[in-house]
Copies of this chain bind each other. A is one copy, B any other.
Amino acid sequence: MPQKVRIALDAMGGDVGASVVIPGAATALTRRPDSEFLLFGDSALIEAQLAKYPALKAASRVVHTDVTVSMHDKPSQALRRGRKTSSMWLAIDAVKKGEADVAVSAGNTGALMAMARFCLRTLPGVDSPAIAAVWPTVRGDSVVLDLGATIGGDARHLVTLAVMGGAMASVLFNLERPTVGLLNIGVEEIKGHEEIREAAELLRAMNLPQLNYIGFVEADGIGKGLADVIVSEGFSGNIALKATEGTARQIMDLLRAEISSRWLARIGYLFARGAFRALRDKLDPKKSNGGVLLGLKGVVVKSHGGTDAEGFAYAIDVGYEMVRYDLLTKINQMLNRDGSALVSAQTAQEAVS
């Protein structure tokens, strides 16, 4: 590999901060030794952690700041207080300045979105950013977006999401022409959300070489893995995400309660625990940690705020992959190659509406 992947970390982000971020980075480094880190935050806290991980220390540079965005700051507060000074801003700004290839933060989503947008700006042709994540399905992994960055949007916005999600899936899953579905509800002839039907017509009419539009997918089709990429505006995408996460957690809790309330079942559990462990492993939210902010002039990865070091390492992995396989160039190419396509899309939109 020609060059190291330079990763900027908001070392103060998340519920815990440096004592999760630094061990997480150490784990990520053992998996991808061609990484180097820029660590933003309270240098005393960071150095105390780094002392335990000499390999990471050797691959890192620490930039001190004592300004931190709290998990409860509203986006406007975060921008007011933390612009140009906070660990979150500095990590993003390192990407803008070309000192890092990707920024990763477990800080609060609204603040991260606002800062990333403000600092990096959106790509030409993109009006609003999106959050995309890898979603485990019974068939393998899919990319789902938008998980809550932008609420609503017209048909062209949905087509842009399809293009960006397609680029991410082709980078992550090494697919030439990932399948793309639009999240919709099953009832036919329903009123409202014309933009989804328009987006479907656009995607069909455009017949893009980089993605294979397969039609509408209902919310139970995401977990079935009906498409490599599922596209939705941010409100519905967030509803689907939270409903899925919640249900998975609640079922595992119920099962645990049912087993532990029966002595025979507790014995059974001892025999079956390999199966339970495998299931828990498949459903492990840590492994799908790392939402990618798409549509910006730079790559920013959002980790769950409450994750542990292992989970944070997965978010770093996602950032690494995006850089190593050149997501941004790919999206730009798609948007530009489709610069024409998206313009003709607008014409097509007028034609169908």
A interface residues (Cβ-Cβ under 8 A, vs B): 74-76, 109-110, 113, 137-138, 148, 150-152, 183, 185-193, 218-224, 234-236, 238-255, 258-259, 261-262, 264-265, 267-276, 278-279, 282-283
A243 touches B272 (CB 8 A): no
The minimal Cβ–Cβ distance linking A85 to chain B, given in whole angstroms, is: 21
A74 touches B189 (CB 8 A): yes
> Which listed residue (B238, B242, B248, B274) contacts A251, Cβ 8 A?
B248
A255–B148 Cα gap in the complex (Å)?
A: 30
Q: Beyond A191-B151, A271-B264, is A220–B242 a contact (Cβ under 8 Å)?
A: yes
A193 touches B244 (CB 8 A): no
Q: Beyond A243-B247, A264-B274, is A219–B238 a contact (Cβ under 8 Å)?
A: yes
B239 touches A219 (CB 8 A): yes
The minimal Cβ–Cβ distance linking A287 to chain B, given in whole angstroms, is: 14
Q: Which of A234, A235, A248, A279 has the most CB of B within 10 A?
A: A235
Q: Beyond A259-B275, A262-B274, is A239–B247 a contact (Cβ under 8 Å)?
A: no
Residue of B nearest to A194 (CB): B151
B151 touches A193 (CB 8 A): yes
A47–B268 Cα gap in the complex (Å)?
A: 48
Q: What are 21 A-B residue pairs whose CB atoms fall within 8 Å in the complex?
A: A74-B188, A76-B189, A110-B189, A151-B191, A152-B192, A219-B240, A219-B246, A222-B243, A235-B236, A243-B247, A244-B246, A254-B283, A255-B275, A259-B275, A264-B271, A265-B273, A267-B268, A267-B271, A268-B268, A268-B270, A269-B272
